[in-house]
Amino acid sequence: MVAERLVSAAEPVTLPFAWEGSLRKVARKRVIQCALSRICGVCRASLGRPVAFVGTPQEVARNEFHFPPLHAACADQLCAFDAADPSWQVVTTSGFELVRAGRDDPDPEPRFAPNSLLEP
What CA–CA distance (Å, rounded) separates 13 from 20? 11
CA distance 61 to 75: 18
Which helix (H) or strand (E) segment is 69 a member of?
none
With CB under 5 A as the contact rule, which of the stretches 26-34, 35-43, 98-106, 108-116 interacts with Zn ion?
Answer: 35-43
Q: Does 52 contact Zn ion by CB under 5 A?
A: no
Least distance CB 64 / Zn ion (angstroms): 21
40 contacts Zn ion (rule: CB under 5 A): yes
18 binds Zn ion (CB under 5 A): no
Q: Which is nearer to Zn ion, 45 or 101 (CB)?
A: 45
Cβ proximity to Zn ion: between 60 and 68 the closer is 68
- Please tell me the distance from the alpha carbon of residue 93 to that of residue 70, in angstroms, as a whole number: 11
Q: Hey, which residues between 56 and 115 contact Zn ion (CB under 5 A)?
A: 71, 74
Count Cβ atoms below 10 Å from residue 41 Cβ, excluding itself.
28
Residue 42 interacting with Zn ion (CB under 5 A): yes
Closer Cβ to Zn ion, 95 or 108, answer by number: 95
Instruction: For residue 17, give the H/E element and its range.
Output: none
Residues that bind Zn ion in the complex, under the rule CB under 5 A:
40, 42-43, 71, 74
